[in-house]
Structure 1
């Protein structure tokens, strides 16, 4: 049995609206995207296969919001809300933000793909454009530590997109789920742990150490964001360089020490 038939038939048997549901299942298995109670946004959600998977994984206390230009038939899951509109339109963005809530999203996923022309370079460029749109929307919606998944076709524009994503997340990796057709050039960029810190790796700045942590590092605050400074004591005002940034704190070394 051909792979596409296997997943198509499996989707029909298990009640999923599209075979692509198994791509998201496999992405979740490898990247641990969803947890019970999560708030999830699905961009380009029609016909709803990814909405079904996300709704199952986040459970009754979670929330899934799907957006698409096409109408999405109502799902049985009570934790799913759909919005019909262009995700880059200001009105749609406002509706999406309201639906997600003030705490932001925990996960944003996008399985969007361009209408295929058969011209590889053009299809690749259009897929990167759609992935960038999803990336930009995700930056507005994701809470600190949140995750993003976008589909893209492999090609020369991919490294620049990945580099831009790596500046905003703790790490990014590319994966090709088994449920993707073997001959397809599609892959998924999985970006983990959104960084919303006011500092970036390599930044140099002057900070005041206000406390000392349990490991002996000095603790400084930058716009209420915690920076651990090695070799500093409470009361010190020091110049530091940021060496590593996590979603909720960063590490720094003194550059003014003799």
Structure 2
């Protein structure tokens, strides 16, 4: 029996419902996704292996919510809620929003996969479609600074989807956990640091410095988003955004620049 098949035996021995539990464990080890007290949403959660791993990591102070079209048998772990439904239906999304709460989710994870047809291009396209549904859910539920992990099959549409994910996060990396089967074309996109910033790196905007920061730099606001600028309080000037973080960004003065955003 190959090393990859050992994950099946290990899952039985350690009480996990599926060998895929080790994929989430390895993704967490690689990217530090799960922390004590987190709120985690698991899309495509049946039979519940990822729910078990997430519940272990977030602990009693955390919340784990799983969604799937299939029924998920009740888990022994506390603070795990399951919703049976279709994420394309508003009813399901309503129940999920209620379960997550106003603070939002710290992690949205998706191990969803299409029913396989054996036609590679079709299976790839369907996997990207499901991944985009998961990204829509992340956009709806993630708190600022939250993380997103999603399974997708390799193919011609992967790069474009990755670019769309990257537009809303600090960085994105592609990970192939060792627990994935050798013959599988699946990869996981791991996106860290969800941001709803109204500006992007390279944008040029006109701002007014309204406050002085702790380090002596100026603070300006763009639609409520904080920009740190090397300028004095009261100045109105054109700046270029040099870095964007989930809760704040940095910009530099640009003489004579025309705003681009």
Q: Residue 148 of structure 1 contacts residue 191 of structure 1 at CA under 8 Å; is this kept in 2?
A: yes
Give 2:214's aligned residue. 214
SS of 2:51's equivalent in the other structure is: helix
- TM superposition shift of 1:257: 6.0
Q: Residue 228 of structure 1 contacts residue 251 of structure 1 at CA under 8 Å; is this kept in 2?
A: yes
- RMSD of aligned Cα (Å): 1.2
SS of 1:170's equivalent in the other structure is: strand
Is it true that 1:248 corresponds to 2:247 in the alignment?
yes
Q: Residue 127 of structure 1 contacts residue 152 of structure 1 at CA under 8 Å; is this kept in 2?
A: yes
Q: Residue 55 of structure 1 contacts residue 62 of structure 1 at CA under 8 Å; is this kept in 2?
A: yes
Matches within 5 A, 1:145-164: 145-164=145-164
- TM superposition shift of 1:203: 2.1
Matches within 5 A, 1:186-205: 186-205=186-205
Q: Residue 41 of structure 2 contacts residue 105 of structure 2 at CA under 8 Å; is this kept in 1?
A: yes
Deviations 1:59-110 (A, max 9, x none): 0000000000110000001110000001121111111001000000000000
Q: Residue 3 of structure 1 contacts residue 181 of structure 1 at CA under 8 Å; is this kept in 2?
A: no
Q: How many residues align?
A: 257
SS of 1:240's equivalent in the other structure is: strand
Distance, in Å, in 2 between the alignment partners of 1:247 and 1:19 is 34
Distance, in Å, in 1 between the alignment partners of 2:67 and 2:201 is 34
Matches within 5 A, 1:91-240: 91-230=91-230, 232-240=231-239
What TM-score, normalized to structure 2?
A: 0.96
Structure 2, unaligned stretches of length 5 or more? none
Distance, in Å, in 2 between the alignment partners of 1:108 and 1:164 is 16
- TM superposition shift of 1:2: 1.3
SS of 1:76's equivalent in the other structure is: coil
- TM superposition shift of 1:149: 0.3
Q: Residue 4 of structure 2 contacts residue 182 of structure 2 at CA under 8 Å; is this kept in 1?
A: no
Higher mean displacement: 167-176 or 179-188: 179-188
- TM superposition shift of 1:215: 3.1
Distance, in Å, in 2 between the alignment partners of 1:12 and 1:150 is 25
Structure 1, unaligned stretches of length 5 or more? none
